[in-house]
Amino acid sequence: MQTEQDPIEPALRQRLLEQPGAVLDDDDLMRALIAAGQGPRRANVVDLRGVAMDRLETRLSRLEETHQTVIAAAYENLTGTKQVHRAILALIEQTDFEDFIRALGTDVTDILRVSTVRLVLESSAETASEALERIGEVVRVAEPGFIDDYLSRGRGGETKPIVLRQTRPGETGLYGGGSDWVASEACLRLDIGQGRFPAMLALASDDPYHFTPSHGIELLGFFGAMFEQLMRRWLA
């Protein structure tokens, strides 16, 4: 049996030297080492309490950073959820189709904190209907195939239903003349009913980081789905 005076076994000493972190991360070992150091300190005895406190402070700092990150993400998600719900309610409250569309450019734009909102409707007719012309600049009527081409930036192929991206000055004329200020956009492809051409909601911002591919799309997906249902009711 090994005593306090016995030298530590070479194999065990070598293992501890190879994995010192294993000792520091083991709570029971640290307690035993600190208890063993209660007596008179020798020249080769390290202040284990100080080492333990340093380790605990490092862990606490990491925990606080994680805690703050989780809180910030939760707050941002809650704020976004409230904004989307308010935008949907603003649309539901409209009792006239023209007011419903106009609300996109007023209430919805303000609530979602974007610069501009556009509703793109594909149509095979040469001119937009008189009703759409009265609505104003919120609606853009385009040739069939425009939306897929716009979402893919002219590259073709399969397109995603929701596209978040940064834009370059002069890249898009969707938002009217002088739209060089557009720095990012969110494009939501819409299915507004059987037998109808696809539609698209486009939300533009002058902040290049307002919409980026790394952002989540769940809330925008919910908003787009609700807008689809409301549009189908108005067009029925």
Residue 17: its H or E element: helix 10-18
Local structure of residue 8 (DSSP, 8 states):
P
CA atoms lying within 13 Å on the CB side of residue 176 = 10
Q: Which of 9-23, 123-137, 156-170, 182-196 has the lowest mean pLDDT?
A: 123-137
CA distances from 187 to 107, 150, 164, 210, 220 (A): 19, 9, 7, 13, 9
- The Cα–Cα gap between 99 and 110 comes to 16
Reply yes or no on domain 78-235 having CATH 3.30.450.40. yes
State the CB neighbour count (10 A cutoff) for residue 137.
10
Q: Does the pLDDT at position 196 exceed 80?
A: yes
Local structure of residue 7 (DSSP, 8 states):
P
Interval 145-187: pLDDT, tens:
999 999 998 887 788 999 999 988 767 778 876 668 899 999 9
Local structure of residue 179 (DSSP, 8 states):
G
**Which token pair is 107?**
């209430």
Q: Does the pLDDT at position 230 exceed 80?
A: yes
- The Cα–Cα gap between 116 and 224 comes to 16
Interval 94-122: pLDDT, tens:
999 989 999 999 999 999 999 999 999 98
- The residue extents of the domains of the chain are 10-63, 78-235
Tell me the one-letter amino acid at 218. E
